[in-house]
């Protein structure tokens, strides 16, 4: 990835072409800002969540932080989570672990498309599938030896493009969520009595 990653583009053009539907000028402007000042690269994403009773809870996303400023989504997003009926839920929304799989596969796709676009690699189509195996004895506290989350996750991406599978995979591996899921990360959980 040394020769052809986006870092090799040293002169951002804010009016770059739209490649694969991605306005590369906008991307190169962000990259240029970050190259000039590492503080501009410090982003923060946030959300609030409220328990709705039983198996259902709801998250709200609005404000985030990037390039030294508070940012807002065009409109706030809400996401519900639920559990299947089999696991005492009402099945009105995806489960938390399905949200992880969506985060992973969507990030791999967007990351590959973004990096390809900046490099001028045309992509015609991307269709992917992901599956995650979980032994729920860990979650239910039935065994200390069984981990609580997925024990393995497999992704298959089918991509129509002139570029080689190897190149496309290298681009996808810049994915933030791949890094989050595959590697460990400090997660601080504080519980306060309301």
Positions 5 through 24 that interact with a second copy (CB under 8 A): 5-7, 20-24
15 vs 176, which CB is nearer to a second copy?
176
Give kind and range of the element (H or E) at residue 56.
Answer: strand 56-66
Q: Tell which one of 3, 11, 74, 145 touches a second copy (CB under 8 A).
A: 74
CA distances from 94 to 89, 166, 180 (A): 11, 32, 20
Tell me how far, at minimum, the Cβ of 122 lies from a second copy, in Å.
Answer: 12
- Spell out, one character per residue from 96 to 135, where the chain touches a second copy: x when CB under 8 A holds, - when not: xxxxxxxxxxxxxxxx-xxx-------x-xxxxxxxxxxx
15 vs 143, which CB is nearer to a second copy?
143
The size of the interface with a second copy (CB under 8 A), counted in residues, is 137
SS3 99: helix
Q: Tell which one of 36, 87, 120, 122 touches a second copy (CB under 8 A).
A: 87
Tell me how far, at minimum, the Cβ of 50 lies from a second copy, in Å.
Answer: 5
CA distances from 63 to 102, 171, 189 (A): 22, 29, 21
Tell me how far, at minimum, the Cβ of 104 lies from a second copy, in Å.
Answer: 7
- Give, as ranges, the residues between 20 and 49 that touch a second copy (CB under 8 A): 20-24, 26-27, 30-31, 34-35, 38, 41-49
Distance between start and end Cα atoms, the chain: 49
Q: Tell which one of 17, 36, 68, 85 touches a second copy (CB under 8 A).
A: 85
Q: What is the DSSP letter of 106?
A: H
62 is a contact residue toward a second copy (CB under 8 A) = no
CA distances from 66 to 32, 42, 45, 58, 129 (A): 14, 6, 9, 24, 31
SS3 160: strand
- Spell out, one character per residue from 143 to 172, where the chain touches a second copy: x when CB under 8 A holds, - when not: x--xxxxxxxxxxxxxxxx--xxx-xx--x
Q: Which are the contacts of 57, defined by CB distance < 8 A and separation ≥ 6?
A: 49, 50, 51, 80, 81
């Amino acid at each position: 990835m040394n020769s052809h990653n986006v870092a090799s583009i040293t002169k951002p053009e804010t009016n770059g072409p739209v490649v694969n539907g991605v306005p590369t000028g906008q991307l190169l402007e962000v990259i240029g800002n970050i190259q000039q000042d590492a503080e501009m690269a410090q982003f923060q994403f946030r959300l609030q969540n409220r328990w709705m009773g039983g198996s259902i809870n709801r998250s709200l996303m609005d404000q985030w932080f990037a390039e030294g400023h508070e940012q807002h989504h065009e409109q706030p997003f809400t996401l519900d989570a639920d559990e299947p009926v089999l696991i005492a839920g009402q099945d009105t929304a995806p489960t938390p672990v399905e949200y992880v799989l969506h985060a992973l596969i969507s990030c791999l796709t967007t990351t590959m498309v973004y990096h390809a676009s900046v490099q001028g690699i045309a992509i015609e189509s991307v269709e992917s599938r992901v599956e995650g195996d979980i032994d729920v004895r860990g979650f239910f506290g039935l065994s200390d030896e069984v981990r609580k989350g997925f024990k393995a996750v497999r992704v298959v991406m089918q991509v129509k493009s002139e570029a080689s599978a190897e190149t496309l995979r290298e681009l996808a591996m810049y994915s933030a969520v791949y890094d989050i899921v595959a590697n460990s990360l400090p997660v601080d959980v504080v519980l306060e009595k309301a």
